[in-house]
Amino acid sequence: MRDVIIIGGGVVGLSCAYHLQQKGLRVTILDKGNMSDGCSYGNAGMIVPSHFIPLASPGVISKGLKWMLKKNSPFYIKPRLNWELAQWLWTFYRSGTKKHVDESMALLRDMHVESREWYKQLNQHASFDFGFEQKGILMLFKSKAAERDEIKMAEIAHQIGIEANQLTAEQLKQIEPGIDFSVAGAIHYPGDAHLNPSLFMLQMVQYLKASGVEILTRQHVIHLEDKESDGGIVYLADGRQEMARHIVVASGIWSSGLLKKSGEPLLMQDGKGYSMNYTGVKKMPTIPSILHEARVALTPMGEQLRVAGTLEISGMDDRISAEKVKSIIESVPEYYPGISMHQEAPVWSGYRPCSPDGLPYIGRFKSKSAILMAAGHAMMGLSLAPVTGRMVADEIIGKNQSAIHPKLFPGRFS
């Protein structure tokens, strides 16, 4: 019997494997693909202590309804008769309260900061060089309404100890010399960081293999059986069964389907996003940014500029929305007039696993369960993966089990 089987070889699964291996456990990762694609590779590469407000917060529903009326909006829910979507939407609505936000802010801040420090230290290791830089991010805005929103957010950030500096258009040029901006101003969060997620994933896989972690690809898991104190059984599509003392489910959006078959409901919806990589950008920014009105992220990654955006809950519809891609591309020169977007770039898309309250699912459903959850991180999988791995490892070895906050409990909506 293995010590731990991790289902899912994305950034969360690899982070869990790293921490568990460091504790001396024998770890096997089972991944349904070949670990060359997915949200862990195509994301914006940002580590964001500035993102301390959960997705479910007051005003999001009304704003989302307005966005949904536009084909090129940054947020879209595909209308359909689906009971699981209805449950998710109702729980999302009920979660969007000031109380929920107040209880989540310090938790998210601390989780992001712990992950940032982990990435910073790991990047200094001889086996790693994934382009980690702590230059912060810029929240760029053009309108008065967006300026008010960003200033209000910066004031809340100050209240919980996060540095946030308001910059005029002229002050922007001082920290990004040579870059042309067409904005009213920005908020700079110097505590944020960024990295190249594809490089990180490649190097982490190599490191884990060299450290003795078994990584098996093209493994289609169809069912889990929880024997509680006696461990758990993983059933695969080819008829094989694998046993382990602990099973960590870190398979992103596919976690909900797997848990449903195993008798544990997990409210989760796909938040499809798009990204494109551009090379040869003449006026390359050095600081990542988020374009407030467009909800588009720009991240410099070596010689490439990654442009990402959109949250599309579409029921796992893998079609590329030409309107949404066009909207993302056209928004960039509206903020950065010196950046030409005429170059063709392949469009990547992936499904972010979204819980209805904007917080991940981490830990066990039952105290003696052999199955642990590590999923539901939405757009913050990269930024929250290291701390998730640490929490899962501590839970498994019985160290400081109370460190997993009750708001992360996987069964909180049961």
CA-CA distance, 377 to 43, in Å (whole number)? 12
Residue 92 forms part of a structural domain:
yes
Spatial CA neighbour of 249 closest among 340, 362, 334: 362
Looking at the structure of the chain, the number of domains it has is: 1
- Taking residue 262's Cβ as centre, other Cβ atoms within 10 Å add up to 19
Asked whether the beta carbons of 89 and 355 are under 8 A apart, the reply is no
Length of the chain: 414
Residue 413 forms part of a structural domain:
no
Spatial CA neighbour of 313 closest among 80, 15, 7: 80
Instruction: Give pairs for 179-182: CB < 8 Å, separation 24+.
Output: 179/283, 179/285, 179/336, 179/338, 180/283, 180/336, 180/337, 180/338, 181/140, 181/335, 181/336, 181/337, 182/142, 182/334, 182/335, 182/336, 182/337
Longest dimension (CA), the chain: 64
Q: Which domain holds residue 309?
A: 2-408
- Taking residue 303's Cβ as centre, other Cβ atoms within 10 Å add up to 11
Helices (H), 160-315: 169-175, 197-210, 254-261
Helix axes 11-22, 381-397, angle to 10 degrees: 30
Residue 69's pLDDT is: 56
Residue 124's pLDDT is: 95
Q: What is the pLDDT along the chain (414 residues), one digit of tens a residue?
A: 899 999 999 999 999 999 999 999 999 999 999 888 778 899 999 999 999 999 877 766 666 666 665 666 677 777 788 899 999 989 988 988 999 999 999 999 999 999 999 999 999 999 999 999 999 999 999 999 999 999 999 999 999 999 999 999 999 999 999 899 999 999 999 999 999 999 999 999 999 999 999 999 999 999 999 998 899 999 999 999 999 999 999 999 999 999 988 778 899 999 999 999 999 898 899 999 999 999 999 999 999 999 999 888 888 888 888 888 999 999 999 999 999 887 788 999 999 999 999 999 999 998 889 999 999 999 999 999 999 999 999 999 986 555 689 999 999 998
Helices (H), 265-360: 322-335
* Torsion 84-86-89-92 (CA) sign: negative
Residue 414 forms part of a structural domain:
no
Spatial CA neighbour of 175 closest among 287, 284, 333, 296: 287
Residue 275 forms part of a structural domain:
yes
Residue 137 forms part of a structural domain:
yes
CATH number at residue 87: 3.50.50.60
CA 221 → CA 150, 361, 385, distances in Å? 44, 20, 22
CA-CA distance, 188 to 150, in Å (whole number)? 10
Chain-centroid distance, C-alpha 391? 17
pTM: 0.94
In 280-383, the DSSP E strands lie at 289-291, 296-301, 304-313, 348-354, 361-364, 371-375
Rounded to a whole number, what is the distance in angstroms from the first to the last CA of the chain? Answer: 31
Residue 175 forms part of a structural domain:
yes
Residue 329's pLDDT is: 93
Residue 78 forms part of a structural domain:
yes
- Taking residue 19's Cβ as centre, other Cβ atoms within 10 Å add up to 23
